[in-house]
Structure formats: structure tokens, C-alpha cells
Structure 1
């Protein structure tokens, strides 16, 4: 259940943030590539039903969701205006497919579940491929919800999202 969790928590409590939040969950026995198409189908249905501006669709997720952010951003082109993976991981060889999307990655140095080296290697691979990722590293807390809430409570993230759009 996603009540009071992550970005949904912020969206429900902060009236100033005018976002529609779609939060698909990856079943425990699958990985994001297995449900990539169904996730995109859900997103497409929500965009159509609620008349959402297709040029202002952003992607973010924490941990396994961070992995999904990297995957969806790498395997789709022109759908997402910006991506913000939090404490995620991905295959750095896929960075070549991520250079055209603005990325702001977040991770905590003391993460005991997904090592910060996972995000560091993606950021370095993006830089090596002439991408321009932003990277915020936190100190003082581990993998648990603190890194997610710290990120989603930061108004600068939403200002950054707002600066990015895809022109149709």
C-alpha cells in the first residue's frame, strides 16, 4: 500500500505541488523490464483520461523504483521530460541511452542496501557519454525512507522538474 509513502505523501500534503502522481509497483517476482510496457500503458491511459501535458511528464522512484527510473528513461525516448532516480542502480553500459534526458540522481553515502557506488557509476558513465547529470549525495542516514523523504521534501527538485519540458 502506498498511502503516506514517497511522492504520494508529498502530493497529498502539499497543495502547492500541482502534480498527478502515477506510482506503479513492480511485483516481487519480476523486474522493471518485465513490466515496462504495461507501466507505459498505464501512464498513457492516465495522461489521456486527465488531459496531462505530455511535455511535462517526470520520472522518479526510490530503490527498486530508482532502478525502474533508470530503465524507463533508458528504454523510452521522448516520453519523460526529466528523471530523478533515488538510491537506484542500473547497468552503466546503458548510459549511452540516457544522455538526452535531464537526470538528477540522489543517494546516501551510508546506504547499506544499494551501495552509493551504483549511482556514482551511472553518473560517471553518463558524464563519459557527454551527458550532464546532477548528483546529490547525502550523509547521515542509510537506505531507508530518509533519503526518499529528504529528496521529495526539497522544493529545488520541483523547481528543477518545472524547468524541464519536452516540446511537441
Structure 2
């Protein structure tokens, strides 16, 4: 019984500390006209508004949609709180949140005869409501005097990776590099962002978003793009972000690029 109580206490302590750490992300919002988007933002330690810092935008997956302005930190939020990351890569990190009834990218979902979900991506087309707001948010941040406009990055997982590709093609002149984890896009859209360095990740056993999407994008970019890295994890399912976040060169690769 004592061991159970001790284990429970330790578990609650860890959860409490994690929750406390995530509170280092301030709450923010961008509201202009019909556009509204809420986000959490992490400033560098010893932030100096007279200096210029890189900007990282990270887009969450479908499971973290909501109106709580907090759930989007579930995957990736702790990565940027690590002491070595804060020391070696001082940056302004923004996690916007997509509401429950919206989607970062223009994607269609259907079910085949066996009931399996099929995803297709729109070529071109108008942005979703939340993507339009996200574009406005990005432009607003780039007007801040403390943002280094040569070091603006975007990344995302699952739905967020789909949104990453879409944001890149809509605002391609603003980003220095990007990472996309278990996402997808219409390969006809690639020409819009082929000049932007990309590191793509996917799990070979992903049964939510078919790895064929990432494979197709990577193969196409290898023939027309400036720089693409592709990592396929042979034993990973949809949560390949766990592997990607553990890549020792992930952030050094990202921050090494300048526009």
C-alpha cells in the first residue's frame, strides 16, 4: 500500500510540474475583422525587446483542437521548454489553436467500401477560416520589431503538418525552413514551396495518415526542390512525432537556415 501511495504521489508531482512548466507559455490572441485565433507563446529567457529573435510557429493535430487555448501544447510544448533548447536556441515559439469545427488545411475525408478513411487534398483553393486567421497572425508577428524576419520557421504534426504545407505555399516568402510530421498534401501544390528547406517525418506503420503522402512529397521535392530531408520510421505508427522530437539534430537543422 505504501508503494502504491508513493507511486501515486510521484505521478501527481510529475504531472503538476509539467503543468507548471507549460504555464511559461503566455496566452495570446489575434483578432482582426472576421479573423480570430488564440495561441500560446513562449518568450526566450531574459527576453529583450530591443533584440531580434527567430520565430517558430507550431501547428497541432486534430485531437488538440478546442477553445481552451491550452490543449495544443500537448505534443511539442515540452520540447521548447528543455533547458538546453532554451539556452542554445533562444526563440519566440507560438502554438496557435484550431477550433473544433475547423481544419488547418483544405482536405477532404471520405470512407471507402470497407469503411477505411480516405484523405484527399485540394489543389489550390481558398484557405479555410482558421488558415486565413493564421496567415493574419503570422503577418502580425512579422511586424513586431523583435522578430528576426530571416529566421521564421513553421512545423506541425498530422493535421498540423497538412497545415504546414498549406501555410508554406500561401506565405512561402516568409519562411526559412519547415518540418512536417505525418502529414500530406496534393503534390501539385509542391511547386509553391519547393524552394523552402523541409524535413519530413512519417511512421511506416501509420494507420491514420498513410505514409504514402509523405513519401510522394519527398520524392517529388528530391527532383525539383532545393533541400529536403525525409525520415521514415519503420516501426512507428501515427505518433511518429515522438521519434521526430527525439532527433538530436532536429532544432540545429531548423535554426541553421536563414531566408
What band does the TM-score fall into relative to the shorter chain?
A: 0.7 to 0.9
Give 1:11-30 correspondences, 5 Å limit: 11-14=80-83, 15-16=86-87, 17-30=89-102
Q: 1:44-93: per-residue Cα shift (whole Å, max 9, x none)?
A: 33344471211111110000000011111122121110011000011111
Larger radius of gyration: 2
CA pair 31-162 structure 1, distance change in 2 beyond 3 A: same
Unaligned regions of 5+ residues in structure 2, if any? 1-69, 105-126
Structure with the higher fraction of residues in helix conformation? 1
With 121-130 and 40-49 compared, the bigger mean Cα shift is at 40-49
Which residue of the partner structure matches residue 150 of structure 1?
243
Give the count of matched residue pairs: 164
With 17-26 and 111-120 compared, the bigger mean Cα shift is at 17-26
**Contact residue 159 and residue 183 of structure 2 kept, 8 A:** yes
CA pair 48-73 structure 1, distance change in 2 beyond 3 A: same
Which residue of the partner structure matches residue 79 of structure 1?
174
Give 1:43-62 correspondences, 5 Å limit: 43-49=138-144, 51-62=146-157
Q: Secondary structure at the match of 1:137?
A: strand
Give 1:78-97 correspondences, 5 Å limit: 78-97=173-192
Normalised by the length of structure 2, the TM-score is 0.58
With 32-41 and 2-11 compared, the bigger mean Cα shift is at 2-11
Quote the offset at 1:137 in angstroms.
0.8
1:6 aligns with 2:78: no
1:124 aligns with 2:247: no
Normalised by the length of structure 1, the TM-score is 0.87
Within 2, Cα distance between the matches of 1:124 and 1:71?
A: 18
Query: Could you say which structure has the greater relative contact order, defined with CA pairs below 8 angstroms and 6 or more residues apart?
Result: 1
Structure with the higher fraction of residues in strand conformation? 2
Point out 4+ residue stretches in structure 1 off by more than 6 angstroms.
none
Q: What is the CA RMSD across the aligned residues, in angstroms?
A: 1.9
